Every structure is written in structure tokens, then in C-alpha cells.
Amino acid sequence: MNFKTTKEANNKRLEVLVYGGSGVGKTSLVSTVPDEPSKVLIIDFDNGTFGLRGKDYALCQPRSIAETLDLFMELKKENNFNWVVLDALSEMSSTFLNELKGKHRDTRQAYMEMTDLVKQVISLMRSLDCNKYFISHADQIQDDAGAIIYSPALEGNALKQKLPQYFDLILAYRLFKADDGTVKRALQTSSEADQRFVCKDRSGVLEHYEKPSIAGIWNKVYPEFTENKPLIEFPNIDEAEKVAKEFPGSTVQGVYDALNVPEGECQLEINGKSWKGKVHFGSFVFANGVERPLSDCPDEAKFITT
């Protein structure tokens, strides 16, 4: 028998499940995946890709159990994608259950078969030689003490209870309202931070709360595959108009924060320090080639386009 190391077995492969309320930004997180859109496949059960309309991600929308299984069997034979996104597990389980209720008179039998099929799809997706991003809506239940617990939403309590065993990373996408009224977003990675939320971090390298970025999670889990070159620092620019001097014949077009900056060349300013670079696929690419997700930028970061 041939053996391989644990490093080889987990070489550059990320499997993460993110759950949260409707509209929190779970699907939009796809834009923070550290790869070209042509290398990302979205399997859409939720009809929720409107926020990604400006990107050319591959999209498949199976509408039945047979179509879903056929898709994964095709991907098993030939998969040219580096990332496969399933949006959303909760909607897929509902689709399967509705179809099976029309097949079985006994609802209990429909739930049992749905559970087996969802587990089969998860196993098929996990077996693909690529990174996986699973999305789920959030559900809330009461524990024996009457406390509210938030967890990934799925049809059937038996399946919901077994779900955590399939994933190394289960993250809750949460919104927090600051004292000044602004809303902050964060991925909760550990139930120790807030026991009301079911979370899991088998990597052991994540903070209790991380900025919402798949690339940011990737960089922490696999730092050996992330460039760590020193940033090229440029002279401080106190006024936005002075940036135009770096680009002869151009003028400043606008100043943006990390959530709204358009793609293209720009200057990044943080606390009086400035860097040249460009915004590309949800990241800021420094002049030396180092990339950092826009979601990792501090609140005071400003992007000045010319």
C-alpha cells in the first residue's frame, strides 16, 4: 500500500460552509474567492446570484434530484474548475424534499430519502479535486434550556444534527451594529465567541471573528502558499489631487472605500501611507504583485482612482 503525508492529503484544498440570514452577503462572498471567475462554478438552487451580475462565473441551476446527481457525476469524471460553490444547501434539501413528497405517501419516508440524497451530494462534492464553498441559510432552534441556537438550515432535524461532521470549517456570517450606527460584517469561526451560533474551525488558525473574505480565510489556513513579500511604500500623499501626478495626463476620478471601489488602477491610502496598484477580482494587487482581499482593508482605507 502507498502512503502519503497529511500535508499532501490536504494540499491546497479548502472546504468551508458559511451560513447566515437572508441578504447578509453569503453569495457575494464568492467575489472574494482567490481565483479567476472562469475557474469558479456556482451550482445555484437559490436564484440569488444578482449580486454577482458583473462577473462571468460559470453557473448551473439543477431543478431536480436527477439533474443534480447527473451534474456531480459529470464533475467527478471531468472538472476544470478550481472552486465549486453550492448555493444553497438549505434550498437544495427543500427542492429534494418537495420532489420526494410527490413520490411517497408517507412523509417520513420522503424525509429519510431526502436525508440520504443530501448526504450523497455532499460526499460527491467533497470528493471533487478542487476547493468547495457551501452556502446555507440560517435556522434557529431552542435547546433543552430554552436558549435560541443558530445553525445551518436544512430540512430534517436528523440531517441538521449530522451536518457539522462533514466540514472542517463552519462559519456564521453575522452583522453587528456599532455605537455610531454603522453596520459591520464578520465571519464567526468558533462557538466559544458566542455559544448561540454553531461554528467550527478545525484548522486552529482563525480568530474568533474574521473579516468576510474567502481569500482571507485561505491565506490563514494555507500561509505556505501565500506570498509574503514586503509592500512597496510610496511617499505620503496628503491631498487626493496630488495622486494625478503619478499618472501623467490624468485626473482624479473619485475616492472610494473598499466596499465600493471599481476595478482598475488606483492608489491605496491608509493612515498617511500610500501604495500604487490595481483592484482586480475583489483584491487589491500591489505594484510588487502581492494581493490582499478588499474585505481585509481597515475602515480608514481609501482608494483613489485616476
CA of 57: how far to CAs of 30, 37, 213, in Å? Answer: 9, 5, 17
Q: What count of Cα atoms within 13 Å lies in the side-chain half-sphere of residue 62?
A: 25
Domains and CATH numbers, the chain: 6-225 (3.40.50.300), 240-305 (no CATH)
Tens digit of each residue's pLDDT (9 = 90 or more) over 59-89: 999 999 999 999 999 999 999 999 999 999 9
Tens digit of each residue's pLDDT (9 = 90 or more) over 195-216: 999 999 999 999 999 989 998 8
Q: Return the amino acid letter for 230.
A: P
Task: Give residue 252's pLDDT band: very low, low, confident or very high (50, 70, 90).
Answer: low
> Residue 29: is its pLDDT beyond 70?
yes
pTM score, two decimals?
0.72
Q: Give mean pLDDT, residues 255-280.
A: 80
Task: Give residue 48's pLDDT band: very low, low, confident or very high (50, 70, 90).
Answer: confident
Distance CA 28, CA 291 (A): 19
The strand pair at 169-177 and 15-20 is best described as parallel
> Residue 227: is its pLDDT beyond 50?
no
Residue 170 contacts residue 23 (beta carbons within 8 Å)? no
193: cis peptide before it, omega within 30°?
A: no
pLDDT at 63: 94
Q: Give mean pLDDT, residues 21-43.
A: 91
Distance CA 115, CA 123 (A): 12
Instruction: Report the Cα 3 to chain-centroid distance in Å.
Output: 32
Closest to 258 measured CA to CA, from 216, 218, 304: 304
> Residue 33: is its pLDDT beyond 80?
yes
Q: Return the amino acid letter for 173.
A: Y
Sequence-ordered alpha helix ranges (H) in the chain: 6-9, 65-77, 89-101, 107-126, 157-162, 214-221
Percent of the chain with pLDDT over 90: 44
Q: Give mean pLDDT, residues 277-282.
A: 81
For cell 489631487, what's the residue? 241
pLDDT at 223: 73
